Amino acid sequence: MSGLRVFYTSVFLFLVFIIQEVIIARINFPFNGFSLYLAVLMIVLALEDRTGSLVFGFTGGLIMDLSTSADTPFGQWALVMTIIGYLFSANRESIGDFTQSPFMLVLFTCAAVSLSLVIFLVIGLMLDQSNGGLFHNTGLILGNSLWTFLITPIFLPLIIRIRKLMLDNRERV
Amino acid sequence: MARGGGNRSRLLLVLLLVSSLFLITLDLRGVNLASSIRSGIATAFSPLESVASKIFSPIGNFTSDLKNFNQSKKKIEQLTKENDLLKSTQILDEDTVGQLSQLRNVLDLAGRGGYKVVAAKVINRGSSATFKQTITIDAGKSSGVDINMTVISDSGLVGVVKSVTSNSAIVLLMSDPTFKIGVRIAGTQSIGVVSGQGGSTYLLQLLDATGEIKKGDVLVARGSQNGKPFVPGVPVGTVTTVQSNASSITQNADVVGISNLEQIGVVAVVTSPPKNDPRDSLVPKPRPTVTIFVTPTPTPSPTK
């Protein structure tokens, strides 16, 4: 994996983060909200190789830590996403090639988004944060998964195409 | 994968985990890394958010309208009639008129309470992935806004300023599960604490076990020392259900917020508390009902 690709992917993730913070966050979704950034990051992680999952999990988490509305210690999302990146990395072979099965990729993205939110809450508990009650948080996570499931198929082909553009010639082969 | 590749991945994993934990430790130790970076990001984003607020405001309204589809249908019929009327006189931008109305009402509320305020427009909402319910407003330090200032809407409490940059501020909404405010039942001395529940309803815990709560009671903010984070007298909510539990030490009740947090476009930040506690003067008064007595005039009896 070249340094240039790390740079391009990070810039791409940062652009998605800006869209999330400036546009998506202002939409009052019924049944809680939707995080475009989380969904895109999960797709990127699912499509990456072992090292890529780890590196982009960490950088993607660091970008999430920049969220102006976050009240959590800087690095918490980086830790969560590194763990998620590791899970992707460790299960690379069993996950298989999702690009051949878009439906499975969408389902997997939903599950990964939910898992990342759960891990975030668990780490938050360990750091003595109060993030609301169980009922509220369960609703938020389920709502987020539902919207991820409904909206991800709309932009999934675009993300796959953009990722292909970011691969260098050797990686494309 | 080759053994070397596996070792490299493991080493990378350990390195990244240690980096994350190092960053968290730095933050928890009080190194203002996060706040300065986030403040920089907020400053950089605020012009973008202002532009997006103008362009994408109909999208946000569309989804909240979907939630109230039945109400929207009635509203559409009503608006269609009004629209015909407006066409004959003057076509006005509904969004601007709505915001103007909100601004007028919020300034009216602040005036009645004796609060010094800075009016601001809501330019963004916090991401749901942060588990925090926040809004971003377009007034910051340059307008006199500071952290822990009360934020009100045209009908009552909205939240409290959590962080501030030169020209924007993030407000923690009262619906956030971590939000708590000391309140008093209007017209009485009974005090309690209202907590956010993540939605449009709140929980009131009355501290006085002998105090009486009833449906329809209006709650007002008790106020904090020097008016920070809460100024006194701001309407907070109305009691909808009283939870009667004989074994409980405190009395609990469900409360509905006085401000519709999903539809606020204009707010005011209270920069200075009132000289005198406005007590119950800001409690919304019920509209007077007009009673018309009709006395039938005696009908003349037919004469033969």
Indicate the number of domains in chain A: 1
Q: If you count residue pairs, one on A and one on B, with CB atoms under 8 Å apart, how many are there?
A: 177
Q: Which residue of B has its CA nearest to A59?
A: B16
User: Which CATH number does the domain housing residue A45 bear?
Assistant: 1.10.1760
In a domain, A85, yes or no: yes
> B34-172 and B175-258 share one CATH topology?
yes
Residues A81, A60 contacting (CB under 8 angstroms) = yes
- Tokens, residue B90: 């003057």
Is A132's CB within 8 Å of B178's CB? yes
- A124 in B contact zone (CB under 8 Å): yes
- Nearest Cα of chain B lies from the Cα of A102 at a distance, in angstroms, of 24
Is B34's CB within 8 Å of A64's CB? no
- A60 in B contact zone (CB under 8 Å): no
Pairing of strands B169-173, B134-137: antiparallel
Q: What is the pLDDT of residue A79?
A: 94
What is the full DSSP assignment across B111-171? HHHT-EEEEEEEEEE--GGGT--EEEES--GGGT--TT-EEE-SSSEEEEEEEE-SS-EEE
Q: What is the pLDDT of residue B79?
A: 83
Domain at B175-258, CATH class: mainly beta
Domain at B34-172, CATH class: mainly beta
Task: Determine if the peptide bond prior to B229 is cis (ω within 30°).
Answer: yes
Q: For residue range B93-138, what is the model confidence (pLDDT) as tens digits?
A: 666 777 788 888 888 888 888 888 898 988 888 776 777 888 889 8
- Nearest Cα of chain B lies from the Cα of A149 at a distance, in angstroms, of 16
Q: Which residue of A has its CA nearest to B179?
A: A132
Domain boundaries, chain B: 34-172, 175-258
In a domain, A173, yes or no: no
* Rounded Cα gap, residues B301 and B304, in angstroms: 9
Amino acid at the residue B28: L
Pairing of strands B169-173, B266-272: unpaired
Residues in chain B with pLDDT < 50? 1-2
How far is residue A1 from each of residues A90, A169, B167, B214, B293, measured CA to CA in Å?
18, 11, 41, 66, 86
Is B199's CB within 8 Å of A51's CB? no
- B71 in A contact zone (CB under 8 Å): no
Is A28's CB within 8 Å of B60's CB? yes
ipTM over 0.90: no
Q: For residue range B231-262, what is the model confidence (pLDDT) as tens digits?
A: 988 899 999 988 876 666 778 889 998 888 88
In a domain, A59, yes or no: yes
Is A54's CB within 8 Å of B124's CB? no
Structural domain including A112 reads: 3-164
The predicted model scores a pTM of 0.69
Nearest to A74 among B17, B33, B52 (CB): B33
| Mean pLDDT, each 10-residue run in order, chain A (173 residues) | 85 92 81 87 89 92 86 89 90 69 87 93 87 83 91 90 78 61
